[in-house]
Structure 1
Amino acid sequence: MRTLRWLVSAQNLCASARWLSWAEPCKSHKPLVSLARMAHTSSTPAPPKDSNTPKAVTPFEEHFSTQQKDKASFVQVLDLFCGRDVRRRGHVEMIEAALKWMPEFGVEKDLEVYNKILDVFPKEVFVPKNFIQSMFNHYPRQQECAVKVLDQMESYGVCPDVNTCFLITQTFGKLSHPMKKYRRIMYWFPRFKYTNPYLIPAGIEADPVSLSKYCLERIADDRDARITVYQLPSTEQCDDGTIKEHTHLVGIQSQDQIALLEEHDRNYPVLVEGPFNLWLKKTCVNYYILRAEPSAKKKEKILDPERSLYYPIYLDLDLERDLGEDHTFDVDEVDEGPVYAMCMAGDEKLLAKWIQGLQETNPILGEVPVLFRLTSGPQELSLSVKQTDSSPQDSDEETTQGERLRMER
């Protein structure tokens, strides 16, 4: 009977709403429209409106920006957040802000700090209670945040430890996505630890001489190459009380390069070119090379096969080549000229001292002219503004004057 009453009342309500829609508009239609809205309460679908309200700033973002940039201040902010609330509301935003500020504090490679960040999560709250919860990604936002922490550890080469496994198990359980990520890292990291044959030593960026030696050995790729330190970085106090700093100058040259330089044609000059950039992790260093033009090689005397009594005359024809093929340019056959030596200097003014040091093992440099073809670095690029009213004769005089200065240098 109760179900029958519900059906009758629903039929009467639909009839009244249909009568309201057929009724002619009049001045007193506002209460009827409100009654119709009461009969059909579902809202009309519409696209979502873009709210121009600014997003809420993380409250601990200001603490990271005002604190001193060191490990103790970073850990202090994390402890302050953990002691503020037992439930630790806003822990996801806090962890994302901490991951962003880690390079600023210099703790992006510290395992202890990563474990401290994972300790920010509330314990035993996100652990699934049954198999269905673990299958449907229990608390997905928190698990994605923990995976971001492990991803950043992987990108910086930080291997987790037993404490990391304990924190993940206590927070998300053994069947969670962060635990799967942890197991994959622990599986692949030990296997790829010693696969790099050019492993960069830690802390080598602080010593410019050791950094130059390592980079030159890596560029030369010759075990017989000899590294010479022409000048060590030092400071000197002048008579007027000013302190003058001396930068480093390190060069490398092999026996094959000495032999090539000895066979260089005296009629052609040798060139000092650079600086060329070389990236070593996040450190950019510059190096210079001593080279020659491709046309500076001595022309070997080719023996005419017609005048040889030991080798008969023959024709070397490539019959497999089609006439439609055009092999006018081949990368493997491009001749760029031989490289005689390389160096790394803290200042371009030390390149003349490098050439003087090379003359001890290469006396040919005292007979051959040396031209310096140097280019400015990216930070020194400047656009030369030419006047529109300048004549072509003035521009020619400027170019000749620049060439004279280069030759004098």
Structure 2
Amino acid sequence: MTSVAADCSYCCLRCLRLQRVSKFTHRVFQNPQFQKAPILTLPTYSPLRPLHTTNATEHREGTVAERKEERYRQRKELELFNELAQLKEARDKETFMQAIDIYLQKQSVYKRGHVDFIQGAVKEMQSFDVHKDVEVYKALMEVFPEGELVAKNLIQAEFMHFPRQQHTAMELLSAMGNNGVVPDDSMGDIIVSRFGKHSYVMKKYRRMMYWMPKFKHMNPYPLPMILPRSSVELAELALNRMAVDKLNDVTVYDSMDLESASDDTFIASAISPSQRELLNQHDKRKALFVEGGFKVWLKDQVLVYFILRADPRPDLLKYNERVDDVDKEDVSSGFYTFIGAEDEEKRAVIAAPSVHEQPEGTIMAMCITGSSSKDSLVAWINFLQRDSPCLANIPIVFSLRTPESGVQPADYTAEPLEEGMTQLESGPS
């Protein structure tokens, strides 16, 4: 009730105030002096000037024209590399460095077009096979004019003095990082002499010098900086990298050593002594499976490998369940053993599996062939049969699938693999 009374009193007060205001305004308008007052006239303004804007299409066309002109300049600078490569009939480091020397002799004073020259040279580095050579990157960084691009004060340095040149230098450093090339101290000296120690190029160089050496030595399975060109050597590297057994033995065969071979290619086979023992102990009534192809990457190279697999061991699942259920803090097993009252289930012994016996199956061997065809895999089984004659009495099932397009060993054109399953009932011939 009090809230309702308060609202009513508030409304009454507002009504009284409005009545007083209305009476006051009435008296003002009835005053004769107010009626004689001049009428206010608003000043007249001229119409607003229309806003002038540029045509967006013209701006875009101008940008496209500038990009076309930049690409034309880059192609013009690339002509030096292509002409010199055709003249010497070689695309190697010597030809690439000679092209840089020719440009520096022609533009020894003003170095006109050095940005377009460096951008074009970065695009041609992989074709000349110099994209992993730190000396070539330092030679390209020395193309920038010395001392002319250094900021005079911190304000110029903060607002990126000569931005196009600095962006080009950072693209050069990014190419080094993408190719796994770690810069050295002399590269830092070149950057300081060209852009100064407060430039953005120097900041990127310092970040690379901090992180790249850490990541370079972090891989537990290191590869050589420059991978071999031979497909056989690449296959050996891949098999040694995938093998978990340190006693793994990689053997390279020539398929033409077999009289029944129809595919002329190499076969790199990986098998360890423990795998040979598992192969000899395998039940002859159970089949072995040749599966693949699977992909393995060695930096920018990709290979296709195959495995010889057996079904998983029957007691392996029970062993894994017992291992998972073991409580490390439980001392009952030791107590039962002490009093001679251990349970029969706990007294049961299950042999621990080897590294090759996995829940998905037992890996007997691995291989990489030059053509990844079924004929080369049959030849691989025949070569394994020389050291393990038991394979002659074991049925072999070929379960092959076609890898994605473009995923084939380097320098080889693989034949398409047959899908489905093919079984050799009496073993390989």
TM over 0.5: yes
Q: Summarize deviations over 1:351-374 as a string: whole Å, max 9, x none.
A: 333323323443331211122233
Please state if 1:61 is matched with 2:85: no
Please state if 1:251 is matched with 2:273: no
Rounded to whole Å, the distance in 2 between the matches of 1:312 and 1:204 is: 57
Give the AA of the match of 1:266. K
Rounded to whole Å, the distance in 2 between the matches of 1:284 and 1:51 is: 42
Cross-structure match for 1:183: 206
Range 266-275 or range 183-192, more displaced: 183-192
1:44 to 31, 52, 60: 52
Range 183-192 or range 264-273, more displaced: 183-192
Give the AA of the match of 1:79. D
Rounded to whole Å, the distance in 2 between the matches of 1:339 and 1:266 is: 16
Please state if 1:222 is matched with 2:245: yes
Rounded to whole Å, the distance in 1 between the matches of 2:218 and 2:199 is: 30
Give the AA of the match of 1:337. G
Cross-structure match for 2:94: 72
Deviation at 1:404, TM superposition (A): 7.9
Deviation at 1:104, TM superposition (A): 1.4
Cross-structure match for 1:99: 122
Q: Summarize deviations over 1:246-273 as a string: whole Å, max 9, x none.
A: 5332222234433433443333321222
Please state if 1:369 is matched with 2:391: no
Over 3 Å counting, the alpha-carbon distance change for 1:273 and 1:163 in structure 2 is same
Rounded to whole Å, the distance in 2 between the matches of 1:203 and 1:175 is: 34
Cross-structure match for 1:339: 363
Rounded to whole Å, the distance in 2 between the matches of 1:313 and 1:111 is: 65
* Aligned partner of residue 122 in structure 1, secondary structure: coil
Please state if 1:112 is matched with 2:135: yes
Over 3 Å counting, the alpha-carbon distance change for 1:225 and 1:156 in structure 2 is same
Over 3 Å counting, the alpha-carbon distance change for 1:157 and 1:129 in structure 2 is same
Over 3 Å counting, the alpha-carbon distance change for 1:252 and 1:312 in structure 2 is closer
Over 3 Å counting, the alpha-carbon distance change for 1:218 and 1:405 in structure 2 is closer
Deviation at 1:146, TM superposition (A): 1.2
Contact between 1:251 and 1:354, CA under 8 Å: does it hold in 2?
yes
Alignment of 1:303-382 (within 5 A): 311=343, 335-347=359-371, 348=373, 349-379=375-405
Give the AA of the match of 2:241. R
2:151 to 125, 128, 146: 128
* Aligned partner of residue 297 in structure 2, secondary structure: strand
* Aligned partner of residue 61 in structure 2, secondary structure: coil
Please state if 1:82 is matched with 2:104: yes
Over 3 Å counting, the alpha-carbon distance change for 1:150 and 1:253 in structure 2 is same
Cross-structure match for 1:269: 287
Deviation at 1:108, TM superposition (A): 0.8
Range 373-382 or range 282-291, more displaced: 373-382
Alignment of 1:154-193 (within 5 A): 154-193=177-216
Q: Summarize deviations over 1:173-228 as a string: whole Å, max 9, x none.
A: 12112222223333334444433221112555234444333221221211133333
Number of equivalences:
324
* Aligned partner of residue 138 in structure 1, secondary structure: coil
* Aligned partner of residue 250 in structure 1, secondary structure: strand
Rounded to whole Å, the distance in 2 between the matches of 1:404 and 1:112 is: 53
CA RMSD of aligned residues (A): 4.1
Rounded to whole Å, the distance in 2 between the matches of 1:233 and 1:261 is: 25
Q: Whose helix proportion is higher, 1 or 2?
A: 2
Over 3 Å counting, the alpha-carbon distance change for 1:270 and 1:297 in structure 2 is farther
Over 3 Å counting, the alpha-carbon distance change for 1:245 and 1:140 in structure 2 is same
Q: Summarize deviations over 1:273-326 as a string: whole Å, max 9, x none.
A: 2232211112222222111345x859999xxxxxxx974899xxxxxxxxxxxx
Q: Summarize deviations over 1:82-135 as a string: whole Å, max 9, x none.
A: 344432233222222221221112111122221221122122111122232223
Q: Summarize deviations over 1:20-41 as a string: whole Å, max 9, x none.
A: x6xxxxxxxxxxxxxx9xxx7x
Over 3 Å counting, the alpha-carbon distance change for 1:118 and 1:228 in structure 2 is closer
Rounded to whole Å, the distance in 1 between the matches of 2:212 and 2:316 is: 54
Deviation at 1:74, TM superposition (A): 2.7
Rounded to whole Å, the distance in 2 between the matches of 1:310 and 1:166 is: 74
Over 3 Å counting, the alpha-carbon distance change for 1:156 and 1:300 in structure 2 is closer
* Aligned partner of residue 101 in structure 2, secondary structure: helix
* Aligned partner of residue 275 in structure 1, secondary structure: strand
Range 166-175 or range 58-67, more displaced: 58-67
Deviation at 1:381, TM superposition (A): 8.8
Give the AA of the match of 2:52. T
